[in-house]
Chains A and B, each alone.
Chain A
Amino acid sequence: MKNNPVSRRQFAIIAGTVGAGRIALGQAATLTAEKVIDRLKAELGGDWPAAGPDGFKAGDPAIPVAGIATTAMATVEVLKRAARDGANLVLTYEPTFFGRADGPARTGVSTRGRGGPVGVAPNDPVYQAKQEFLARNGLVVFRLRDHWQARKQNDMVTGLAESLGWTKYRVKPDDVLYDIPAMSAEGAVALVRSKLNLRGGLRAVGDRKAYIRRVMLHPGAMTNATMWQRYTDADLIVAGEVREWENTHFAADLHTAGEKPGLVTIGRVASEDPGMRVCASWLKTVVKEVPVRWISAGDPYWRAV
């Protein structure tokens, strides 16, 4: 934790403007978005390459920060709540502008994807309307993914466990396994759905009646290599997303073979939501001048009836 001593110059400004009202005082504090990010970078460490996903995505980094919000995904709904709550700096784990390019395609950034060119068209109506909304509300958006995920505390995992009420069941301090009170796969799935307020995003593969004790938590996207290496460690894997021809297929085959584990995917964003709540708690220890809150991005999916 670093202190943020008020400089002599800042003190003079504060002292000289106390009577002049909130706006002047705000300027006096001059905690800009850029300064918040500089502090955050110093705390998190590591390299911050310009071509990486982390960085400012919208707004003016020089504006004074009134409040900070963290979220798994800076959707318009999340941004509306941030604006309403007076949080004008938003830290998002996932992109703001619909893909890895996070806006119109950038040069020097690998953004190969299926279905044609990547990045949004500069005149795309949703992109433009979102930019206008951000500008109108004076919001600054910064993407914080790689550096948050890289922390050795692995709070994307601990956050998810905390939301599920499983913190105390962790098997080893640095791992992703939790020994929960024994229940059926069906029971575990119902618990996960209810604790995370999921709507249509949850899908399970495997035996509903299987006896579950050891659960592996894998927020975000889980590769097939990870599943092959670790599936024998758990009775149930709770992941954000997988590729269906890879891990879903593998889990279905395990079920046919009468093997454990089951696989539950809860949706990428829903799986990352709790980790960004932990990020807000952590940020409060780094930035004390302004309020910091977490805004849930929630489960984007619903199911047809």
Chain B
Amino acid sequence: MTGREVVELIKQKLGIPWNENSYRDTFKIGNPDSQVKGIATTVMVTFDMLKRANEAGLNMVISHEDTFWNDRDDTTDLTTIPLYKLKTGYVLKNDMIIWRIHDHMHAMRPDFTVVGSLRSVGIKGGDDAVMRPRVYTIPETTFGKFASQVKRLTGSRAFRCVGDPNARVSRILLGPGYATPRMTTEADVVIGGEQQEADGGFDDVEYVLDAVSLGMAKGLIMLGHVVSEQPGMEDLAKWMRSFIKDVRIEFVPAEEPFWT
């Protein structure tokens, strides 16, 4: 099987029409017509993840996020940067192929990134979740206890919380990656990946700080982009195994990049 054939199969099985205008969901580097020895799914094709995939004999990487540190994977300004040469050189030398699936994952039903993210923080009932966030109700607890549970379940070292640890909470809104939902009156806790911290479309950080100061029980958890969208890439691998039988497909996680 070639990389191009793998992508064609995915397009057929998606259950939604392929959007040819997506600049994200394209081949990023490598020869699409090379033979695929194995496939690695991941949330972010970091150089570290790329090396581990190659060492495991997986020469096609299917990444949810970008390869070259910008959303469009525009390489115009990168050609003189040694790291760019190193990363592209590694891919080409090892006959690897990188393909991104972002927009179509978020349009799929369910959206595996949301399904996986909900599962990873211990929220049940999200197996049919889509991008548009909905409120999940958990048994009432304090925000601090809930945050501790998220830490234990995700194993994340560096996720950030805003709000009152003693607030009684039960209604959760979750949107992974950069799709952190805006807090509403229907929710006590918002869980997101990342968000512009201020001066954006809606600043959850300030909103939750102020809600708490004004006596409302609210909390915000920013999991980090990798931690929040990673689990769904395991679901993608599982789904792909249902229709690609001849090639090994493995989920190869990107590492949470932070220390504190």
Contact = CB atoms under 8 A, between A and B. Distances in A.
A251 B257 contact: yes
A302 B164 CA distance: 10
Contacts of B165: 302
B180 A228 contact: no
B258 A256 contact: no
A205 B44 CA distance: 15
B141 interface: no
A249 B209 contact: no
Interface size range of chain A in the complex: 35 or more
Contacts of B185: 124-125
Interface in A204-234: 204-205, 208, 221, 224-225, 228
A304 B182 contact: no
Contact of B257 (A77, A124, A205): A205
B197 A269 contact: yes
Contacts of B180: 115
Interface residues of B, number: 65
Interface in B142-173: 144, 147-148, 150-151, 158-162, 165
Interface stretch (B1-9, B29-37, B66-74, B244-252): B66-74
27 contacts: A75-B210, A75-B213, A94-B198, A94-B199, A94-B206, A95-B203, A98-B206, A115-B180, A116-B182, A145-B199, A201-B160, A204-B259, A208-B259, A225-B77, A228-B78, A240-B197, A241-B197, A246-B71, A248-B225, A250-B83, A252-B48, A252-B255, A267-B197, A268-B198, A300-B162, A301-B162, A303-B158
Interface of B: 44, 46-48, 51, 65-66, 69-71, 77-78, 81-83, 86-87, 144, 147-148, 150-151, 158-162, 165, 175, 178-182, 185, 193-194, 196-207, 209-211, 213-216, 222, 224-226, 255, 257-260
Interface of A: 53, 73, 75-77, 80, 94-95, 98-100, 111-116, 118, 120, 124-126, 129-130, 133, 145, 200-205, 208, 221, 224-225, 228, 240-241, 243-254, 256-257, 259, 267-269, 300-305
